[in-house]
Chain A
Amino acid sequence: MPAIFPRWTNNVPIVVGLLAPLAGASLIFSVWYWFSPKFTDVGYRPTQPVAYSHKLHAGELGIDCRYCHNTVEQAAHAAIPPAATCMNCHELVKTDSPRLEPVRESYATGEAIPWVRVHQLPDYAYFNHSPHVAAGVGCVSCHGRVDQMVVVEMDQPLSMGWCLDCHRDPKPNLRPLDQVTNMAWDASETPYDPDRDPNRKRKVNPPVHCSGCHR
């Protein structure tokens, strides 16, 4: 009786045995790499309805973050400013710029400008800006050098593991409370120990349990 399988099939188990771990490893790698927020989210840079440049306003003109995002110290959201905030200056500056047309229109009509959300957490994660600012976490720690971005993009993955890295060991990301919005503050230039800062009223003790962020 002739053999059903040709002789070369004897090698199949060996080849499969060698390839299967490779395939498995590559699958794990691809999920780990391509599904991670580091790949999917970092660098996300949607086009905004108004070509607003943070580089110009926050960088070159040196406007403090809180001039526009003025709820950041009191609320969960660092709210997008109303058009009225823009018009504080732009009633005098660049009054006829066509790029500012949507802003002027929004101010006049009250219709909102549909800004595209850049930093978006899942709905079950409840992030609150105010305790982070109060703890002395710099804006730059999560948002990157916004003062150098013409179009804002995501700088950090904002994934749960990334959050927890800091919540478990917040010290490296803390800075003097008056330097929170300073984009250029550099810990290596001015060593800082939050435990010895007389301006701090309490020791930062971020939650690492589930209900700290999920409710």
Chain B
Amino acid sequence: MKPSMPPDTNPGETPRDDAPHTTPVRGGETPASADKVYGQTYWRSLAQRQLSHDESADGWKEFQPFVSVAATSGPRRLPIAGAAAHAEENPAEVGLDDLVPRDGVSRRRFFSVVGASAALAGATGCVRKPKETILAFGERPEDLIPGRPMFYASAIARGATVEGVLVESQDGRPTKIEGNPKHSGSQGATSVWTQASVLDMYDPERTRVPVTGGASSTMAQARGALADALTAAEANGGAGLGVLVRYVTSPTMRASLRDMATRFPQARVFVSDTLAPWNAYRAAELVGGPGTRTYHHLEKASIIFAADADFLGTEADSVRMAREWARTRRVVGPSDFMSRLYVAEPHLTSTGVMADQRRRIKASAVGDIMLALVAALRNSPEFKLPPAADLDGLPVPTLDADTQAFVAALAKDLGTQENRSKSAIIVGERQPVWVHVLGLMLDIGLGNQRFGPTSVQPAAAPAPGQDEASPPGGGSLRWRKDGTAVQGEDLGALASGLQDGSVSTLLCFEANPAYEATGELGMAAALRKATVFHFGHHYDETAKLAAWHIPVSHFLEGWGDVEAVDGTMSVQQPLINPLHETYSVTELLAFVATGTLLDGYSLLKSHWATEAGAQFSERIWRQWVHDGIVSGIQREANLPGQDGWADAAATLATRVAPIDGLEVDFHVDPKVLDGRMATNGWLQELPHPVTKLTWDNAAYVSKTTAEQWGLANGQMVTLTVDGRSAAVPVWIAPGQADDTVSVSLGYGRKATPVTEGAGFDVGPLRTLAAPWFAAGSATPAGGDEYLLASTQDYGSLKPPSHMGFEFEERPIVLERTRAEFQADQNFVEKSNLMPRSRLEHLWDPPKLTAKQQWGMSIDLNTCTGCNACVIACQAENNIPVVGKDQVSRGREMHWMRLDRYFRGDDDNPTAVVQPMACQHCEAAPCETVCPVAATVHSPDGLNEMTYNRCIGTRYCSNNCPYKVRRFNFHAYNLDVRPGGLWTDDPDGAWISQLQKNPDVTIRFRGVMEKCTYCVQRISEAKIEAHVAGRDLVDDGRILTACQQVCPTEAIIFGDIRDPDSKVSKAKRSPRDYEVLRDLNNHPRTSYLARIRNPHPDLAPPAPAKAAEAPAAHDKGHGQ
């Protein structure tokens, strides 16, 4: 229950007197709201903000979410005989000719379809259901119970990131991926990409047979051709042979590459991986020699500075980092410990959204912040540099006043005794090596290094992967020597090798150089000069240039092994035989190295038998495969030396001054990464964590910059860098630094129908020398407006003021600074419009008789908006992909959406992310309006949606205040491809079906659907308890899909009737609030208000400061 009202408050008013941060929001006419307690104006998009401030608008004016001209032009008219003549005679009369069919489907077509299905229904109504056969095993595998899922441990690698996973297998079909709680890289959660990767295996567009010269071939022929090429290469010692791999985390593949060096002594190895943190590794290698790796642990960090590092989003090991960071943000009482996150970045990322103190700044100026930080700290007694690192003669950058204040506050925080060895300086992969060197120096100077010369704990290092015991004083920076790391050449060397003919045969394993290579290399042309064998999943850009494209197995189809950055080793096991006749990369690389094609299992096992020597046994091997972790054998601890500080410090001379003029920033996309996930429909349709764009990338610019260019959302701009240009649509992104434009990699791919028309390729603008940001220019490209489908304005919880009602702002997202929380623990109650005592029901709410009552608590303080829950929900609940066109009409089907609210300045707002799914109201507004009782309440408090009763009136969706219901406008599940409704590829549909969760109904056209709190998981747990003779399900037994995947453990689900359950405890927090409580719905999902922890020296970005701004804003955005 909420804290009760102060007794002297008049129940008719919100309590106001003791609110320290009162804010007038919409000045002028509503003086009463001048001292409202909730008092925030949140907005989702600039367009919405402008409208809600539009005082000149009289009466009802519909707010149009951003839709381009293309989408709204020319509805077709219904041709009716005689109507035209009639209309000619009576122009004023609305004639039949004005009946405009919606969505371009003619009425005749509609009736023909309906008529046909009615006839079909009539014909089949009286006969029995179709005959179905049950195919029993000849001999049932041990432990397998048909219809019961099994979980198998495996692991997935992306760049240098490894996540241990447990894969759910439904009768032999892998359907869902969960995190492996034993693995340090996932800790029971997964990233959004790992969630989505299961769909890749069932991608109907995966190549199924080898392709040569544009024609399909057979695997036998492909193997023959490969063997011939290898024999030829072997004859001359491998001269002319090149092997291109991704960042290799697999010990077995590394061994194969070493074997290959024996067989082909002159062969060259190239590595192409946009996702591996090369700059961080280069800096570490300067200090500690080849193979040196650094990474951070954040569990004990109290001050974190992310220097252009999206460590909660796209950077390496994001799941582990987010989980550890979240543990420092779990505030229950006002005096609880809470870390402080500083972020300096050009483009608002998930990390920036979570920042306590954010500075939007050019990426090229981030290095200067580091320099200024070193300058501010170096004389502090708490700052102890490594001996050989000489900082004299460092340039002293000039910073603007705001940045100076930011640096001063940060330096003050870092330099205190109490934060000594409890901070973390995380430098983003986008920053050049010299900035990383500065980052290492700062970390070491501040005592954050756990082992090594100036470490806080100079004890011997534990074995890799076993250093989980927390040291007494934090120590966020870890060093490790990856002795077997592949030392490959980069794509620049490959391009010149191809050009000058020194690489005449290229074996390309999973990499896609034709797309990924930076623009100046001319990789596509270079690749044509060599004989390329491309091993990959799709007939992609490189495959089209290759002599042979040979399909490979998905990681769920083959054996493999991977090693995480902290040394945790995992065995990957297949969940299914290859769907198509393919081999895994591990097998193929071993084939290249040895000339014999062994199956992955023998390959792996023999490698590990050699590796572990006498410690290897069948038992221990089975244990590894079962657990997903290699354990129980002695492995050498491997710490690098730190002799190279002088070399490292020398890189500081390579400092480049910040870019003057326009800076073009390239980002790894938070959805499709560097393009390797672009063929995944789930990820394409996923709204971007901040801009909420689907199916596209865009040129993100600040409003100021866009106004300078004179461009609006969707208009094309030509970006030119280094003489090469690309046209990209503009998207005004609040939080973007002025004079910068951010574009995501990974779009504009030409691989499969899914990538067709999805975004724009900006890879050609990059150069190897400046792959992440560069000076460039922008010119309006003219032409038509481009349709960008953003979901940011869909499902607004806020009645727009121009509808004629003057609603007070209601607490939708609630946030306070830590100081405010400490001053007033009762802020939640004060933010509500009415005390609970004044809320009354019109009808009696349903009786809730069950012994357990389900509820959910979502912590806004830790939700980073990473989207993993959205995809987990999609995978678990068979949610279809609808395509860009349907999304642009507001018909996306995600049961869970992440609302992102801005507050404050148009260009430099703060942001809050709020996961929003069905709230399972106890007095649900949807239930009272359903004419067929298709949505009703269960005795355990679920708002049930019964598809087979639903007739599709959509009244429920209209009446839902949270806008969380989704309607199947088409039979989306019939076709997974975008824009391709009603196209039929029976084979494709068949393959995609295999991913579906058999425990959840697949919904058909015309029914409503929404979050069910994963009722299938609830039922399963209840049945399990009942069979065991227990009435109650244990707390923690039921994990909803979104809860299970959440990297920050922001979602808690359980029995709210049990006072000791985790969810009940969470709901007792003073931060707990219900969204739109004044509607008296009694939602079962409640939220924990966000607490920001800004530095007291810097003016808090929020309530207090907003006080001066609003009046000016209101007028300022009138038109």
28 A-B interface contacts by CB (under 8 A): A35-B126, A71-B147, A76-B147, A77-B147, A79-B146, A83-B138, A84-B139, A84-B140, A108-B138, A109-B138, A110-B138, A116-B134, A130-B1027, A131-B1026, A200-B1029, A209-B938, A209-B944, A210-B946, A211-B938, A211-B1018, A212-B1019, A214-B944, A214-B948, A214-B1001, A215-B1000, A215-B1001, A215-B1012, A215-B1016
The segment out of A92-100, A117-125, A185-193 that lies at the interface is A117-125
Q: Are A124 and B132 in contact (CB under 8 A)?
A: no
| Pairs of residues from A and B, 6 with the lowest C-beta to C-beta distance, nearest first | A201-B1029, A112-B135, A110-B138, A82-B137, A209-B938, A80-B136
Q: Which of A111, A131, A214 contacts B1027 (CB 8 A)?
A: A131
Q: Are A126 and B1027 in contact (CB under 8 A)?
A: no
**Cα distance A123–B1002 in the bound complex, in angstroms:** 9
Interface-central residue, B937, B942, B944, B1016, by most chain A CB under 10 Å: B944
Q: Which of A108, A130, A211 contacts B1023 (CB 8 A)?
A: A130
Number of interface residues of B (CB under 8 A): 44
- Known pairs A76-B148, A114-B134, A130-B1027. 7 more at Cβ < 8 A? A122-B948, A128-B1019, A134-B1027, A207-B938, A214-B944, A214-B946, A214-B947
Interface-central residue, B129, B131, B138, B145, by most chain A CB under 10 Å: B138
Q: Is B261 an interface residue (CB 8 A)?
A: no
Across-interface contacts of A106 in B (CB, < 8 A): 138
**Cα distance A113–B147 in the bound complex, in angstroms:** 18
CB distance from B322 to the nearest CB of A (A): 31
CB distance from A196 to the nearest CB of B (A): 16
Q: Are A73 and B1027 in contact (CB under 8 A)?
A: yes
Q: Is A163 an interface residue (CB 8 A)?
A: no
Q: Are B1001 and A46 in contact (CB under 8 A)?
A: no
Across-interface contacts of A112 in B (CB, < 8 A): 135-138
**Cα distance A128–B1000 in the bound complex, in angstroms:** 14
Across-interface contacts of B942 in A (CB, < 8 A): 211
Across-interface contacts of B619 in A (CB, < 8 A): none
CB distance from B891 to the nearest CB of A (A): 22
**Cα distance A107–B133 in the bound complex, in angstroms:** 18
Interface-central residue, A73, A74, A76, A84, by most chain B CB under 10 Å: A76
**Cα distance A130–B1027 in the bound complex, in angstroms:** 7
Q: Are A117 and B133 in contact (CB under 8 A)?
A: yes
| A interface, over-half SS | loop
Across-interface contacts of A210 in B (CB, < 8 A): 936, 938, 944, 946, 949
Q: Which of A35, A74, A76, A209 contacts B936 (CB 8 A)?
A: A209
CB distance from A189 to the nearest CB of B (A): 27
Q: Are A211 and B1012 in contact (CB under 8 A)?
A: yes
**Cα distance A62–B134 in the bound complex, in angstroms:** 25
Contacts A77-B147, A124-B948, A134-B1026 given; indicate if A211 touches B1015 (C-beta within 8 A): yes
Q: Are A41 and B128 in contact (CB under 8 A)?
A: yes
Which residue of A has the minimal Cβ distance to B148? A75
Contacts A126-B1019, A211-B938 given; indicate if A74 touches B148 (C-beta within 8 A): yes
Which residue of B has the minimal Cβ distance to A133? B1027
Q: Are B131 and A116 in contact (CB under 8 A)?
A: yes
Q: Is B490 an interface residue (CB 8 A)?
A: no
Residues on B lying within 8 angstroms of A by beta carbon are: 125-129, 131-140, 145-148, 936-939, 942, 944, 946-949, 999-1002, 1012, 1015-1016, 1018-1019, 1023, 1026-1027, 1029-1031
CB distance from A166 to the nearest CB of B (A): 16
CB distance from B146 to the nearest CB of A (A): 4
Contacts A46-B131, A211-B938 given; indicate if A110 touches B137 (C-beta within 8 A): yes
Q: Is A172 an interface residue (CB 8 A)?
A: no
CB distance from A113 to the nearest CB of B (A): 6
Across-interface contacts of A32 in B (CB, < 8 A): none
Q: Is A159 an interface residue (CB 8 A)?
A: no
CB distance from B168 to the nearest CB of A (A): 15
Contacts A211-B1019, A215-B1012 given; indicate if A124 touches B947 (C-beta within 8 A): yes
**Cα distance A84–B141 in the bound complex, in angstroms:** 11
Which residue of B has the minimal Cβ distance to A39? B126
Across-interface contacts of A35 in B (CB, < 8 A): 125-126
A171-215 contacts to B, CB under 8 A, are 200-202, 205, 207, 209-212, 214-215
Across-interface contacts of B145 in A (CB, < 8 A): 71, 74-75, 79
Which residue of A has the minimal Cβ distance to B937? A209
Interface-central residue, B136, B938, B1030, B1031, by most chain A CB under 10 Å: B136
Across-interface contacts of A73 in B (CB, < 8 A): 1027
**Cα distance A179–B145 in the bound complex, in angstroms:** 24
CB distance from B32 to the nearest CB of A (A): 44
Across-interface contacts of B134 in A (CB, < 8 A): 80, 114-117
CB distance from B126 to the nearest CB of A (A): 6
Interface-central residue, A34, A73, A123, A124, by most chain B CB under 10 Å: A124
Across-interface contacts of A75 in B (CB, < 8 A): 145-148
**Cα distance A202–B137 in the bound complex, in angstroms:** 35
Q: Are A128 and B126 in contact (CB under 8 A)?
A: no
Contacts A83-B138, A210-B944 given; indicate if A131 touches B1023 (C-beta within 8 A): yes
Q: Are A201 and B1030 in contact (CB under 8 A)?
A: yes
Q: Are A110 and B136 in contact (CB under 8 A)?
A: no
Across-interface contacts of B944 in A (CB, < 8 A): 209-211, 214
Across-interface contacts of B1015 in A (CB, < 8 A): 211, 215
Interface-central residue, B133, B135, B1000, B1031, by most chain A CB under 10 Å: B133
Across-interface contacts of B140 in A (CB, < 8 A): 79, 82, 84
**Cα distance A201–B1015 in the bound complex, in angstroms:** 25
Which residue of B has the minimal Cβ distance to A109? B138
Which residue of B has the minimal Cβ distance to A111? B138
Across-interface contacts of B937 in A (CB, < 8 A): 209
**Cα distance A120–B134 in the bound complex, in angstroms:** 11
